[in-house]
Amino acid sequence: MKKVKHILARKGSNVIAVAAATTVLDVLKLMADKNIGSVVVTENGGYAGLVTERDYARKIILMGKHSDDTTAGEIMSNGLPHITPDSSIDDCMLIMSERNIRYLPVFDREQNLCGIVSINDVVYETIHSQKETIEQLHSYIHT
């Protein structure tokens, strides 16, 4: 069974992070620049939460706030489920579906952030795994 560590090995464990005091406008510019849908928010040098495009839509636009005078810390999502590199892809899919979330932070045993997994990562890994299974079955049938 594929695990989160397989996703991190493929995509890397680099995360884009901003301080909680960063304006939402600067966060959006960074996300557009890097073509990503979320950034890690840090406080006192540690993980505090994530800011996603969904956070922006729901907590800035719909609330009538302004991106240039609101901080990442004010709109970040926190309290997200924690997964580890040894978590299964199936578990990630279940958590994401049940909680209706698109991103999961990955923490090691010492509770250090070691990556972010998106729903796209999970779907890609699932499709890749199914293709491998199909190829193995074809090989088995033809031998």
* Segments forming the whole domain that contains residue 71: 4-142
Q: Give the number of domains in the chain.
A: 1
DSSP assignment of 43-94: ETTEEEEEEEHHHHIIIIITTT--TTSSBHHHH-B-SPPPB-TTSBHHHHHH
CATH of the domain at 30: 3.10.580.10
pLDDT of residue 115: 94
Query: CA-CA distance, 136 to 98, in Å (whole number)?
Result: 32
More confident residue, 71 or 111: 71
Global pTM value: 0.85
pLDDT one-digit tens code per residue, 39-66: 999 999 899 999 999 999 999 988 999 9
pLDDT at 136: 83
Residue pLDDT, tens place only, 7-30: 999 998 889 999 999 999 999 999
The secondary structure of 13-36 as a DSSP string is S---EEETTSBHHHHHHHHHHHT-
Q: What is the pLDDT of residues 70-103, one digit of tens each?
A: 999 999 999 999 899 999 999 999 999 999 999 9
